[in-house]
């Protein structure tokens, strides 16, 4: 069994909880509170900067030239291409640049971004990739699943299309292939570290969406 197949099977119950959480159900129906979506978009824009940094670190650790190019390009995509979508949403929902910059990372976003950057810096290349994989893969699966049941018209259609489109899924398949390739050469100890990193990131994906739904902030 490949690493990716094993990781998905080990975390299938967690994925189902993520798929069925209120944020995603209401986003599909178009009934998600606009303020919750605005909260999510602000935090996700912050997140993508850190995600891009972690991808760039992973690119620097790559064990071949193809990996350097693949994850450097992914870093650029996270910071530039996807933020273009978010900038459109932020403008659409009345969030100006000053408001965005003045909004701090929530505890969930801070935890997730800190985990990714710390793992990218300190862990071996295969473990860093395993930590980065859930953001790609879970978004692709959630996006496709929501697209299949989304109400029309839907105020969040652009978000849904971005993660359901074939271009994004092609990118995700290439990341999965890269992770499986390095896993094939990994020691049993490294494989378990990869699984631990994947699971922690998947848990943080759930926490990120849950935090947005509750419009969570720092309690003190």
The pLDDT mean for the chain works out to 94
CA angle 212, 216, 220 (to 5 degrees): 160
pLDDT at 162: 86
Confidence check: pLDDT of 79 > 90: no
For residues 134 and 202, the answer to whether their CB atoms sit within 8 Å is yes
Least confident of 59-73, 119-133, 156-170: 156-170
Placement of tokens 């896993």 in the chain: 183
Percent of the chain with pLDDT over 70: 98
Enter the pTM of the model. Answer: 0.95
Closest to 201 in 3D by CA, of 18, 53, 71, 39: 18
For residues 197 and 121, the answer to whether their CB atoms sit within 8 Å is no
Between residues 85 and 211, which one has the greater pLDDT?
A: 211
Confidence check: pLDDT of 212 > 80: yes
- pLDDT tens by residue, 145-193: 999 999 999 999 988 998 899 999 999 999 999 999 999 999 999 999 9
Nearest-angstrom CA–CA distance, 94 and 159: 17
Write down all domains in the chain, each with its CATH number in brackets. 3-214 (1.20.910.10)
Contacts of 163 (CB under 8 A, 6+ apart): 139, 140, 142, 143, 144, 146
- pLDDT tens by residue, 83-107: 776 678 788 888 888 888 899 999 9
Q: How far, in Å, are 80, 102, 141, 153, 213 from residue 85 at the CA level?
A: 9, 20, 19, 19, 20
Q: Where are the alpha helices (DSSP H) in 63-151?
A: 65-76, 82-92, 97-102, 107-122, 125-149
Nearest-angstrom CA–CA distance, 128 and 54: 8
Nearest-angstrom CA–CA distance, 22 and 20: 6
pLDDT band at 73; cut points 50, 70, 90: very high
pLDDT at 85: 64
Confidence check: pLDDT of 15 > 80: yes
| Dihedral (CA of 131, 214, 43, 167) sign | positive
Nearest-angstrom CA–CA distance, 118 and 54: 8
Contacts of 171 (CB under 8 A, 6+ apart): 74, 77, 136
Rounded to the nearest 10°, the torsion over CA 45, 206, 135, 81 is -20
Q: Is the peptide bond before 130 cis (omega within 30 degrees of 0)?
A: no
Mean pLDDT, residues 52-65 = 97
Percent of the chain with pLDDT over 90: 86
């Amino acid at each position: 069994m490949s690493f990716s197949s094993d990781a998905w099977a080990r975390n299938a119950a967690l994925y189902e909880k993520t798929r069925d959480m209120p944020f995603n159900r209401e986003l599909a129906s178009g009934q998600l509170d606009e303020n919750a979506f605005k909260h999510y978009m602000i935090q996700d824009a912050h997140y993508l900067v850190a995600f891009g940094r972690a991808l760039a670190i992973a690119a620097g650790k790559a064990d071949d030239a193809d990996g350097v190019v693949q994850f450097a390009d992914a870093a650029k995509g996270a910071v530039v291409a996807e933020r273009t979508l978010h900038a459109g949403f932020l403008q659409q929902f009345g969030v100006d640049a000053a408001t965005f910059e003045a909004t701090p990372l929530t505890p969930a976003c801070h935890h997730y971004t800190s985990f990714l950057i710390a793992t990218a810096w300190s862990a071996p290349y295969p473990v860093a990739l395993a930590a980065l994989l859930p953001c790609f893969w879970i978004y692709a699966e959630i996006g496709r699943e929501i697209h299949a049941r989304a109400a029309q018209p839907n105020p969040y259609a652009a978000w849904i299309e971005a993660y359901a489109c074939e271009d994004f899924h092609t990118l995700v398949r290439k990341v999965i292939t890269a992770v499986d390739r390095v896993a094939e050469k990994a020691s049993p100890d490294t494989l378990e570290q990869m699984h631990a990193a994947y699971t922690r990131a998947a848990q943080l994906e759930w926490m990120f969406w849950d935090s947005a739904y509750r419009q969570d902030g720092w309690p003190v």
